[in-house]
Amino acid sequence: MKTLYYTVFKKLYGKFFNSEVVFVDHMSNDMITTLKYDEIEPRELPDRYFLRTQLSTLYGEVIK
């Protein structure tokens, strides 16, 4: 079981984005992991990015 906290928000391009997420892993002695987004760049995404049937084909396109 994990709890996520959205702890920091930044305004970029006229919109607010969360730029830091804290994960608390309750199964591992409440170990804390912090994920920070330093660079956020808006871009258009194809509709297929949001289809469950396409998830297995997207890794190389989404993770860079």
Confidence (pTM): 0.65
Count of domains for the chain:
1
25 within 8 A of 2, measured Cβ to Cβ = yes
Tens of pLDDT, residues 16-33: 999 999 999 999 999 999
Domain span including residue 25? 2-62
For the chain, the average pLDDT equals 90
4 within 8 A of 23, measured Cβ to Cβ = yes
